[in-house]
Structure formats: C-alpha cells, structure tokens
Amino acid sequence: MRTRRRAVSNVFAKIHNMFVRPPAFEYKDRKLYCERIPLDQLAEKYGTPLYVYSATAIQDRFSIFDTAFEGVPHTICYSVKANSNLSILRLLAKLGAGFDIVSGGELERVRLADKKTLSKVVFSGVGKTADELALALRAGILLFNVESEGELELLAECAGKLRTTANVALRVNPDVPAETHPYISTGLHEHKFGVPIDTARGLYRRAAAHKYLKVAGVSLHIGSQITDVSPFAIAIERATELIRQLTADGHKIRFLDGGGGLGISYNSAQPLPFPELVSSYAQAITSVLQQLGKQRPHLLLEPGRSIVAPAGALVTRVLYTKRNGAKNFAIVDAAMNDLLRPALYGARHEITPVALEEAIIQTDVVGPVCESGDFLARDVTLPALGSGEYLCVLDAGAYGMALASNYNTRPRPAEVLVEGARARVIRRRETLKETLHPESACL
C-alpha cells in the first residue's frame, strides 16, 4: 500500500512540475489559485469564459519597471491598448503611471479611470482624426507623437482653432530590425509607422514655425514582444544623435519617448526572469542617455504586455471531448473571439488544468466558433479531461480581452480582479440583449 501511495505521489509531482507557474497563478493541493482564491471557485461563481487578473502581480511588475529606471527622470506611460479595463487603469494610475493611448476612445478611458493623469498622457498612432486631436487638446495631454506631415498640419490647424498649444514629438522610424512577429514589428522603413529619421529635421523646422505647436520631444517604437535588449540600445543611440542635431538647430527637446515592446516568455520551460530582463533593458537605454549629459531629456516608456500579460489568465470550461482518427480534441467554451492571439499571430499560450489529475494525453484545445482557426492550443499535454472540467490559458492579460469581439454573435466574457483573498468583477459578462441592442434598436 505504501509503495502504491509513493508511486501516485511521484506521478502527481511529475505532473505538477509540468505546470509550474509564476506567483500570480500557483498550485496548492492540486488546485490552481490566483493569489489566495482557487480558480474553480471563481469559475463556479462568475461563469466561463472568464478573464482573471492578479492585482498584486500588476503592482509588482509595475514597481520593478519603475524602480529599474530610478536613476534617470522618467515616466512609465502604460500602453492602454494592451489591456484597457478601467479598473486596471485606475490601479496603475494610483501607482503613478502615465498612459500611452492610440485613440480618442482610449483617452476617454483614461479620463474615466483617473482624470488627474490626463497630464501624463502621450498620444500615439498613425491615423488620428481631427475630432480625436481636438479631444486631446482640450484634455491637456502631455505629448502628441506625430507620425506624418499631414498629421502635423492637421494638429496645427486644430490647435489654432482652440487657441491652445500642443507639445509635439515626431515619431521617427530608426530602421532597426527586431526579432519578433512581422505583424508587431514597427521599426523599419517598410512599416507604416513614423517618419524616416533622416528626414525628421525638416519636419521639426515646420513644426517650430507653427504658432500653436511646440517642439518638445522625439519618439520611437520598434515593435513588440522583443526579448533581446540590443535593438532598443541601437534605436536609442539613433534617437540621441537626432536630439543632438535638433538641439544644434535651436530646438529644446524635453522628452524622449522610447516606446514599449519589451517581451515576456510564454513558455515556462524557457523563463525570462522579469527583474533581470528589465534591469538589462534599463541599463541598455540609460547608458546611452548618459552620453547626452545636460541635454538628457525626460524619458518616457510605454510598457504594456510586460506589465499585464503574466498577471492575467483566461479560464474556460470543457464542453465535450472527442477523438477524430489519431487526434484528441477538447472543445471548450472559450473561442477565438475571446482570445484572438493564437489565430491572429499563431501565438502559443500555455494551457494548464485547474485541477491536477493523473492521466496525461496529447490534445488540441479548440473553441466552438465555426472556423478551423478557432483553437487555443494544438498538441498540448494535459490530463485526460471530461465535460465540465476547467482549463486555464496563461499569460492572457495582454491583448486578450482587448481584442475580444462578438464574432458568431457571442457575448464577451466577464473580467475579475483578485487581490489576496478578495475578488471583484471589473467587467460584468455581456448579455445577448446588449450585443444585439445597437441593431435591434433600429428595427
């Protein structure tokens, strides 16, 4: 009997080691917890699909980022597009964050979350409209990251009508390659973002000639999910050389917006220790900035994924299991409309059982949407699953709910924020009536 218990214990130890997770999501007594609450308890109470976030993980990761740059004047402008939930924005605002936005809608989110942080907003994006520019001018944001000559002229026109001054940085394209997915690489001349760095001086002269535009900074962003810090250093070097030239031209450059893009590991077998990675990232950037001496501008940074991705997960329930030939399938209630990244980028999220079991199989985890691309993971090792059991899609805090849609007329999930032993709904589950209302109201 003792031998059998030892064998079973060894099996569970082996399975547990397959699913080792960061502190926000850990196993205790064979159940997966977010902080101090079992995920199955949250799933039973709030239903699935369900996004769950750890407030402590968000706070800790922001603090690590902020502390790494304490040697230089800086502002961490969290990238709202990564996860724009109002409660998460409010949590970050309380920690001292500014915000990087790319739309008028995101500006309104910041206003609702914490109106006082509007003065720490930078507005990026290639397609700002006149209405959006006017909204940001009235809000008194910190900086406009202008991405084209046409946008510069439109901003000058809008500022003139409102008789208010806009702080301007040109987003320059440093032509620095980053080893990342082509859809999220942004720093080459072939991409739609920014203006060529070698033509920027002429546009800065044009900006300075406008009465209601004030040249205030230089901005860049080379891509996302980058885990090698060397491209960041090269991009900052090219930006600092431009700052020297602009200073010689008579401009006062008060801000350098280094963008975001620092990546995470989506594979626990190949971890990227966050404090060490951020420390290397900070060293790569600040060592270049030191060369500017008294000309050194205030540094703006735009992390998003690296702050919230590992702090969030998507909990889903198994509807059915089936076998087609040699393939096993677990059909779950979360779909590509709930988490688009696997279908959009071929992204690989680890999926882990909420309750550990002994038997192990290879299976595809797929959703109910009528698309062959509707999968959360392929050929993953999981316990043998049954209907009603729960799975957890990890590292889903960024570009998860933010990219969710109503495809197949599916209401979007609820979101829950956990802090210690307390959980609260920060977005209630969408109802079918709410999904149909914009159309049914027109009948």
Domains and CATH numbers, the chain: 2-54+311-438 (2.40.37.10), 69-306 (3.20.20.10)
The alpha carbon of residue 29 and the mean position of all alpha carbons in its chain are separated, in whole angstroms, by 31
Which tokens sit at 8? 């079973």
| CA atoms within a 13 Å half-sphere pointing along the CA-CB vector of 77 | 29
Question: Is the CB of residue 233 less than 8 Å from the CB of residue 282?
Answer: no
Which tokens sit at 356? 């550990």
Per-residue model confidence (pLDDT) at position 177: 60
b/e map 114-127, b = 16+ CB within 10 Å? beebbebbbbbbbe
Per-residue model confidence (pLDDT) at position 98: 98
Question: Is the CB of residue 243 less than 8 Å from the CB of residue 295?
Answer: yes
DSSP secondary structure of 275-331: HHHHHHHHHHHHHHHGGGGGGPPEEEE---HHHHSTTEEEEEEEEEEEEETTEEEEE
Q: Which parts of the chain register pLDDT below 50?
A: 1-20, 180-189
Which pLDDT tens digit goes with each residue over 138-176?
A: 999 999 999 999 999 999 999 999 999 999 999 998 877
Per-residue model confidence (pLDDT) at position 49: 98
Per-residue model confidence (pLDDT) at position 188: 42
Per-residue model confidence (pLDDT) at position 200: 92
Q: Point out the residues that are catalytic.
A: 370
pTM above 0.85, yes or no: yes
